Amino acid sequence: MREWLIANNFMGKEGQVVPEMSDEWVDTISKRYIELYEKVIGERFIPQKMTDVETQQRILYSLQQLSTL
**Residue type, position 21, single letter:** M
- Quote the pLDDT of residue 68: 81
Mean pLDDT by 10 residues, the chain (69 residues): 91 92 94 96 95 96 88
- Quote the pLDDT of residue 1: 87
- Quote the pLDDT of residue 6: 92
Q: Fill in the DSSP letter of residue 64.
A: H
- Every domain of the chain and the residues it spans: 2-67
What sign has the CA pseudo-torsion 29, 34, 37, 42?
Answer: negative
- Quote the pLDDT of residue 51: 97
